[in-house]
Amino acid sequence: MKENSFPYSYGSKLLGILFIIAGIISFFVQYQKKSVFDFNELAVGFSWGFIFIFFSKEKNDDEMMHGLKFKALTRAVIIAFSITHLYNYIFLNWRLKRENDLILSISAYQFLALTLITATAIFYYLKHQVTIIDKE
C-alpha cells in the first residue's frame, strides 16, 4: 500500500485560500482599530494558508510531484533565510552596538510565510517547466 507523504487532500487548497483571505481581513481590521500595520496578523494568515496549499495533494500526485515539492521547499528555505538575514542586518540592525543594544529580527510567522510563499511559487514554476517539456 502506497503511503502519501502529503497529509491534506486536494480540496484543502480551498481552506488555505480562506485562511489567507481571513489573514488579509484581520490585517485591515487591525489597521482600522489601531491605525498601525501589524504584519504579524498578515503573516499568520499567510502561514496557515500556504501550509494547506503547499502540503496538499496534487490532482496528479506521483513521485515526480513529490520530488518537485521537495526541491522547491529546499530552495525556498535557503532563499527565505538569506532574505531574512539580509533584511534583519540591513534594515533592522544596521546601527547595532553590540555592548548595549538588542538584536531585532522579523517574527517566525513572517519567516514561515516567506518560505511557504517562495516554495509554492517555485513548485508551480517547476511544475510548469515539466509540463512544457512533456508537451514537446
pLDDT at residue 96 in the model? 63
- Would you place residue 102 in the very low, low, confident or very high pLDDT band (cuts 50, 70, 90)? low
Reply yes or no on whether the pLDDT at 50 is more than 90.
Answer: yes
pLDDT in tens, 1-46: 456 666 778 889 999 999 999 999 999 999 999 888 888 889 999 9
High-pLDDT (> 90) share of the chain, %: 56
> Domain residues of the chain, as ranges?
12-135
pTM, to two decimals: 0.84
pLDDT at residue 98 in the model? 63
HSE-CB of 115 using CA atoms within 13 angstroms = 24
Reply yes or no on whether the pLDDT at 53 is more than 90.
Answer: yes
Reply yes or no on whether the pLDDT at 83 is more than 50.
Answer: yes
Reply yes or no on whether the pLDDT at 84 is more than 70.
Answer: yes
pLDDT at residue 1 in the model? 42
Residues 6+ apart with CB under 8 A from 23: 41, 42, 43, 44, 45, 46, 48, 49
